[in-house]
Copies of this chain bind each other. A is one copy, B any other.
């Protein structure tokens, strides 16, 4: 049976160095990665940024895949050029087309081993459910945030982010590498099952739905007037109660979590707490609400269909 090729991207952010370290090991010794017969295309997302150990050069590559940016010939930032090149090579209509993209990231937040899914495409939900059934990983379902768009995996028919932390930027941590590989192998195992039409999904998929993001308190000049409260550090996925300390001022005063004052009152589960790269985006943490979706047979069928239509324009 023809099987769709799977794109595995490391170093979409050049200072997240665990996945590219793994990629180099797999290139040297392909037998180290249990691919379950899935044909892989291994790619460094942003080689120039990786060489400089910087997240990006001109703009965040993982916010550069919005169709309107890609189509605008006047946009010539290096990351937009790179996004176009990745699509021309390995996009669904590219020269070596891939039908699934797995984008390997790390974070300074204590996200553990986790998945990020963008929107509710059936094939993505099938893949996430398959991985969750194998490893129990939490899923951050990111949708409907006009301030955060243009993610890489959205331009492939199916794809998700494997997000592992906490680990500093610029650092290789063996335990982060091992978790990354574990999640990737669970994804490939799921894809191999889907390719043969044998993927059995669990009854439900637990997701954390994106509500919104919260910035630090700031002074009129824009400088931060507080830091994240030490009781919040490394407490991703643990729900907040009203009044829980959220921010900390240098004079020792705390500012509590005001659920009633939030625009997303049901969103109490924090994620990406104190991610170093999100300071510039004005995000101290994001808030999610927890839901359980019933898995649908149509999800698995959608994923199988992608993997069996190798190379066809999608």
Q: In the complex this chain forms, how many copies of it are found?
A: 2
A174 touching B251 by the CB < 8 A rule?
A: no
Q: In the complex, which of the residues B168, B172, B277 contacts A227, with contact meaning CB atoms closer than 8 Å?
A: B172
Instruction: Name the B residues within 8 Å of A228 (CB-CB).
Output: 172-174
Q: CA A178 – CA B279 in complex, angstroms?
A: 20
- Alpha-carbon distance A227/B171, docked complex (angstroms): 10
Given the complex, which residues of B lie within 8 Å of A177, measured CB to CB? 227, 250
Q: Is A95 an interface residue (CB 8 A)?
A: no
Bound state CA distance, A276 and B230, in angstroms?
23
**Distance of A233 Cα from B176 Cα, bound (Å):** 11
Q: Decide yes or no: A224 and B172 within 8 Å by CB, A177-B250, A250-B22, A250-B177 being known contacts.
A: yes
Closest residue on chain B to residue A247 by CB atoms: B174
Given contacts A32-B250, A251-B29, contact A21 B224 (CB under 8 A): yes
Given contacts A29-B250, A223-B24, contact A233 B170 (CB under 8 A): no
Q: A227 — which chain B residues lie within 8 A by C-beta?
A: 21, 172-174, 177
| Interface residues on chain A, size class | 35 or more
Q: Which of B25, B223, B274 contacts A250 (CB 8 A)?
A: B25
- Contacting residues, chain B, for A170 (C-beta < 8 A): 108, 169, 276-277, 279
**A258 CB, nearest partner CB in chain B, Å:** 19
A256 on the interface (CB 8 Å rule)? Answer: no
A175 at the interface (CB under 8 A from B): yes
The answer to whether the Cβ of A155 comes within 8 Å of any Cβ in the partner chain is no
* A166 contacts across to B, CB distance below 8 A: 168
Q: Mark A192-227, 1 if CB is under 8 A from B, else 0.
A: 000000000000000000000000000100011001
Contact digits for A79-106, partner B, Cβ 8 Å, 1 yes 0 no: 0000000000000000000000000000
Chain B: which residue is nearest A166 at the CB level? Answer: B168
**Cβ distance A228 to chain B, nearest Cβ, rounded Å:** 6
Closest 6 CB pairs of A and B: A168-B168, A25-B250, A170-B276, A108-B168, A174-B230, A171-B276
A residues bordering B, Cβ < 8 Å? 21-22, 24-26, 28-29, 32, 53-54, 108, 166-175, 177-178, 219, 223-224, 227-230, 233, 248-251, 274, 276-277, 279-280
